[in-house]
Amino acid sequence: MEALSIFTSILYLGLIISQVNADPVEDKQALLDFVNGFRHSRSLNWNESSPVCNQWTGVKCSQDGSRIVALRLPGVGFTGQIPPNTISRLSALKILSLRSNVITGYFPSDFFNLKSLSFLYLQFNNFSGPLPDFSVWKNLTIVNLSNNWFNGTIPRSLSNLTQLQALNLSNNSLSGEIPDLTLPSLQQLNLSNNHLSGSIPKSLVRFPSSVFAGNNISSGEILAPRVSPDLPPGESNVRPKSSGRRIGETALLGIIIAACVLGVAAFAFLIIACCVRNKKEDGFEGTLQKREMSPEKLVSRNQDASNRLFFFEGCSYAFDLEDLLRASAEVLGKGTFGMAYKAVLEDATTVVVKRLKDVSAGKRDFEQQMEIVGSIKHENVVELKAYYYSKDEKLMVYDYYSQGSVSSMLHGKRGEGRIPLDWDTRMRIAIGTARGIARIHAENSGKLVHGNIKSSNIFLNTRQYGCVSDLGLTTITSPLAPVIARAAGYRAPEVTDTRKATQSSDVYSFGVVLLELLTAKSPIHTTGGDELVHLVRWVHSVVREEWTAEVFDIELLRYPNIEEEMVELLQIAMSCVVRMPDQRPKMLDVIKMIENVRRVEPENHPSSENKSESSTPTPPPPVAE
């Protein structure tokens, strides 16, 4: 998988060019010493000759690029003991995450040098031995050491960590009594599944007993005053009424968000780890950029306010450009207007990101066109969720359709194990796509042109009807270079340059899609003898010689009593691909014709289907994966 490393690094190049590019040489060397001395099963893209700040997986520098402040390497497969005097040289480090590796040995004693450490995530490793003296890290805020083999007692040095908001020591082998810890900022605690004994100290009775579960702790009479009467028990640990100091609202909010995000990130990480387990381990780092996100805010780089993702109203997504850049991604394909990627965000949201190339429109024209495209809410049009415009980078964000495009359904995986695309589905693709295009043609006072209709831009919506994507880009991109092989077979004869696409050339392209559905042949394909065949010409020649039955996809021949419908649809397709643009039907006529092929069709539909067909904006029916 040539996953996202390309995506991220290219984007980073494009977007961060304004950042100072000084490489922290000593910190870099420390990292190299660390990674070279430490066995790991997944390769990292830590190339000595590339800048550490912008390109190395899991590394984040201070704003001026002089020091490394965050290191996140979860699930890289580190095995053994952390080589001494490596990470500890990153003395400006604030965030360290090495969770979910197989690190053994004692807590590294040289971590005492990391005086600025605020967030420490070492959970799910195989650390053992005693816990360290915590008093050296005055700024510690979140500590997760759960799911290791730490033993010995809970150190008193935790007291006095005035910043500590969350402490997770669960699922270790800690023993002895819990010391009376004064931790004024502590919001979250988990000491469960250890071998602790004795009773709950006064300072910690505000936490619910579940955080001490799995120990030998007598709770007895202490339990009673713990729960404040006006709070449901579950909430008593979130905001202790009894605690003298009031926690700032922002801090509280931050913690809540942090808790949510971390949980979700961990979940996403697990899912991804599971999914990818069977794949090749090399080149894996691109998909493994899952990290704790909340501390991110501390060090997030100055983002130009105008360079942000623009979301359309009603969009339920919640992520920003940073998240998108961090997402793992996979190349879906190279389209007429640029590369398309499937990006999986930290909360497991999956979107399609299109990087447009050759955009000739200025910012305002671009935004205007996006507004038009983004305003279309129709169940047969793939919704544009968000876009991004900067000088170097133009992105469009769409929903991801897990079934893939109609092109891949028709042409992919022929042969053994293939599930053929049945006739009913093909009819639904045809009618849905027609309705989507008609809706597009109604936009912008009836002037909007799709401009790039082809089967790889058509997907199945939740009701398994066709749904078109990639519209409205012709006016903002530069005229195409001579021939784009893929789009060529769909292009109407009068169109020599995609900027000249019209609604009637859309009808032509749609006709080609219909032919594709009927024949399962690509619009331009080769026969045995290397000869290029244009689908339209081929169908013409076959039909002229009255071998009509020969044109149809053999996979369709298994369905009984559909011949008549196939012939009717073929005639509609032929009327769409006539040479003269003004002789082609309008899209609304095409819809009527297709609906007539199947008289049962309208009855199958809930009434919303017909309503949403009108060009007036109606509330969008649910569109999703």
Ligand X SMILES: *[C@@H]1O[C@H](CO)[C@@H](O)[C@H](O)[C@H]1NC(C)=O
CA 470 to chain centre: 18
- Per-residue contact string for residues 85-124; x = within reach of ligand X by CB under 6 A: -----------------x------------xx------x-
Q: Which stretch binds ligand X (CB under 6 A): 128-136, 509-517, 534-542, 609-617?
A: 128-136
Q: Name the residue type at position 106.
A: Y
Closer residue to ligand X in complex, CB, 22/257: 257
Ramachandran class of 152: left when φ > 0, alpha when ψ lies in -120 to 50, beta otherwise? left
Determine if 146 is a binding residue for ligand X (CB under 6 A): yes
CA 391 to chain centre: 23
Of 221, 225, 130, 114, nearest to 169 (Cα)?
130
Residue selected from 85, 126, 209, 350 as contacting ligand X according to rule CB under 6 A: 126
State the nearest-atom distance from the C-beta of 133 to ligand X, in Å. Answer: 9
The answer to whether the CB of 94 falls within 8 A of the CB of 116 is: yes
Residue selected from 216, 375, 604, 610 as contacting ligand X according to rule CB under 6 A: 216
Size of the site for ligand X (CB under 6 A): 42
State the nearest-atom distance from the C-beta of 142 to ligand X, in Å. Answer: 5
State the nearest-atom distance from the C-beta of 393 to ligand X, in Å. Answer: 21
State the nearest-atom distance from the C-beta of 40 to ligand X, in Å. Answer: 14
Query: Angle, nearest 10°, between helix axes 587-597 and 563-576?
Result: 170
- Per-residue contact string for residues 235-274; x = within reach of ligand X by CB under 6 A: ------------------------x--xx--x--------
3-state secondary structure of 623: coil
Q: Within 149-168, which residues bind ligand X (CB under 6 A)?
A: 149, 151-152, 156-157, 159-160, 166, 168
Closer residue to ligand X in complex, CB, 36/218: 218
Q: What are the angstrom distances between the C-alpha of 156 and each of 181, 191, 592?
A: 7, 15, 79
Closer residue to ligand X in complex, CB, 266/397: 266
State the nearest-atom distance from the C-beta of 344 to ligand X, in Å. Answer: 18
Residue selected from 55, 81, 128, 243 as contacting ligand X according to rule CB under 6 A: 128
| H-only helix segments in 167-303 | 223-226, 249-276, 296-299
Closer residue to ligand X in complex, CB, 97/455: 97
Q: What are the angstrom distances between the C-alpha of 528 and each of 56, 525, 531, 533?
A: 48, 10, 7, 11
Q: What are the angstrom distances between the C-alpha of 503 and each of 111, 327, 453?
A: 66, 37, 11
Closer residue to ligand X in complex, CB, 136/588: 136
Number of C-alpha atoms within 13 angstroms, CB side, residue 570?
24
Closer residue to ligand X in complex, CB, 192/477: 192
Q: Do you know the residue count of the chain? A: 625
Q: Which stretch binds ligand X (CB under 6 A): 43-51, 59-67, 302-310, 457-465?
A: 43-51
Judged on CB neighbours under 10 Å (0-12, 13-18, 19+), 77 is: middle
Closer residue to ligand X in complex, CB, 85/199: 199
Q: Is the dihedral of CA 16, 17, 18, 19 positive or negative?
A: positive
- Taking each continuous run of H as one helix and of E as one strand, the counts in the chain are 17, 25
State the nearest-atom distance from the C-beta of 327 to ligand X, in Å. Answer: 19
State the nearest-atom distance from the C-beta of 355 to ligand X, in Å. Answer: 21
Closer residue to ligand X in complex, CB, 85/157: 157
3-state secondary structure of 22: coil
Binding site: residue ranges?
A: 363
Q: Which stretch binds ligand X (CB under 6 A): 45-53, 326-334, 410-418, 484-492?
A: 45-53
State the nearest-atom distance from the C-beta of 173 to ligand X, in Å. Answer: 7
Binding site for ATP: residue ranges?
A: 363
The answer to whether the CB of 546 falls within 8 A of the CB of 567 is: no
Residue selected from 35, 70, 120, 142 as contacting ligand X according to rule CB under 6 A: 142
- DSSP per-residue letters across 325-365: HHSEEEEEEEETTEEEEEEE-TTS-EEEEEEE-SB-S-HHH
Closer residue to ligand X in complex, CB, 49/306: 49
377 vs 622: CA distance, rounded Å:
10
Closer residue to ligand X in complex, CB, 62/522: 62
The answer to whether the CB of 254 falls within 8 A of the CB of 118 is: no
Number of C-alpha atoms within 13 angstroms, CB side, residue 132?
18
State the nearest-atom distance from the C-beta of 593 to ligand X, in Å. Answer: 57
Closer residue to ligand X in complex, CB, 14/621: 14
Query: Angle, nearest 10°, between helix axes 563-576 and 535-544?
Result: 120
Query: Which residues, other chains included, contact 60 with Cβ-Cβ below 8 Å and sequence gap of 6+?
Result: 53, 68, 69, 70, 71, 72, 95, 299
State the nearest-atom distance from the C-beta of 146 to ligand X, in Å. Answer: 4
Q: Within 174-193, which residues bind ligand X (CB under 6 A)?
A: 188, 190, 192-193
Residue selected from 178, 186, 211, 492 as contacting ligand X according to rule CB under 6 A: 211
Q: Which stretch binds ligand X (CB under 6 A): 147-155, 426-434, 495-503, 586-594?
A: 147-155
Q: What are the angstrom distances between the C-alpha of 331 and each of 53, 469, 473?
A: 24, 17, 20
Taking CB positions, which residue lies at the least distance from ligand X?
A: 144
The answer to whether the CB of 28 falls within 8 A of the CB of 405 is: no
Tell me the two tokens of residue 88.
């500890």
Residue selected from 43, 135, 350, 390 as contacting ligand X according to rule CB under 6 A: 135
State the nearest-atom distance from the C-beta of 178 to ligand X, in Å. Answer: 12
Q: Within 516-575, which residues bind ligand X (CB under 6 A)?
A: none
Determine if 63 is a binding residue for ligand X (CB under 6 A): no
Closer residue to ligand X in complex, CB, 123/336: 123
State the nearest-atom distance from the C-beta of 322 to ligand X, in Å. Answer: 20
Query: Which residues of this chain interact with ligand X, rule CB under 6 A?
Result: 47, 49-50, 102, 115-116, 123, 126, 128-129, 135, 138-139, 142, 144, 146-147, 149, 151-152, 156-157, 159-160, 166, 168, 170-171, 188, 190, 192-193, 197-198, 210-211, 216, 218, 259, 262-263, 266
